[in-house]
Structure 1
């Protein structure tokens, strides 16, 4: 009896370890062709938050960058990145949502293309941009005030 169990077990192991043969009669035909000259993919660019960064790429009808972001305990600082091609002035505003509510949220710093920084600021930021290139605004809460804002906010960046 023991001999039959060993043979049965060995047969089971051999059969289960062997890979199954693939069906050689399967034929895959590609009957669709795509004419790339007629169909172009159009992806609408938006200013949206990815992790802790909002990259400003699209201006609205007024000529300003606008985005909605979220600040929380996982992302206590949000980085707003934008590129200016000419020197001029910068006016930026951050407002907690829903609009009209008060929240401990502000512009902590601005990082210039030459890696210099300035700050802290408040809800509104007015500054001269003496350099062209990518600037970064850092949004967070004031460490000197209570009740850090957690939730959604709106940020608007206007460059002239």
Structure 2
């Protein structure tokens, strides 16, 4: 009995170590489907284009903002803080990048204040002057900044929670 168990276990070990022949090829798992002839092509003139909805309500903010692919970028001079930005998400997939130039303080504090408390929005990441990223955070952030330079706050939908992120909100940066 002992010998047969030993023989079976040796056979299992040897069979598991069997090399895979190099002739076998792995295939890609991408599935290609053809478009039917009766489907209509998307007319680019019918696409709704969203404008920059980020507006400054504080006189210390820089008015240089831009929108690209659902990303709203806003510049603030770090020497003019505290500052409050009035923002609005009009699409489900949007984010705001608040770039704070000339940031010289040791501690950054910021708060998101939505008009609707059930709005699903948070600080997703922070980029420090040394190029490192950290996050995610909640609606409030208090972060120790090492070094001087540009800090970026990335605000968007919390993908780990339910809820809609369309609506108006304010961002207070100190």
- Give the TM interval when normalised to the shorter protein: 0.5 to 0.7
Aligned to 2:73: 53
Q: Are 2:159 and 1:139 equivalent residues in the alignment?
A: no
Distance in structure 1 (CA, Å) of the matches to 2:119 and 2:78: 27
Q: Structure 1, residues 128-149: CA drift from partner, whole Å, max 9, x if none?
A: 0112111100000110111131
For 1:7-156, list aligned pairs within 5 A.
46-47=61-62, 49-51=65-67, 52-57=72-77, 63-73=81-91, 76-97=94-115, 101-156=117-172
Given that residues 77 and 102 in structure 2 are in contact (C-alpha distance below 8 angstroms), is that contact kept between their aligned partners in structure 1?
no
Shift of 1:114: 2.3
Q: Which runs of 5+ in 1 are unaligned?
A: 1-43
Distance in structure 2 (CA, Å) of the matches to 1:118 and 1:125: 11
Distance in structure 1 (CA, Å) of the matches to 2:85 and 2:79: 10
Larger radius of gyration: 1
Find the residue that maps to 1:56 and give its secondary structure: strand
Q: Structure 1, residues 53-109: CA drift from partner, whole Å, max 9, x if none?
A: 12123877xx411111122327611101112442410110011125xx331110000
> What count of residue pairs does the alignment treat as equivalent?
111
Structure 1 47/155 Cα, relative in aligned 2: closer, same or farther at 3 Å?
farther
Shift of 1:113: 2.2
Q: Kindly indicate whether structure 1 or structure 2 has the higher relative contact order, using CA contacts under 8 Å at least 6 residues apart.
A: 1
Given that residues 75 and 101 in structure 2 are in contact (C-alpha distance below 8 angstroms), is that contact kept between their aligned partners in structure 1?
no
Structure 1 66/45 Cα, relative in aligned 2: closer, same or farther at 3 Å?
closer
Find the residue that maps to 1:149 and give its secondary structure: coil
Shift of 1:47: 4.5
Distance in structure 2 (CA, Å) of the matches to 1:88 and 1:123: 20
With structure 2 as the length reference, what TM-score do the two structures score?
A: 0.56
Structure 1 137/85 Cα, relative in aligned 2: closer, same or farther at 3 Å?
closer
Distance in structure 1 (CA, Å) of the matches to 2:111 and 2:61: 19
Distance in structure 1 (CA, Å) of the matches to 2:103 and 2:77: 13
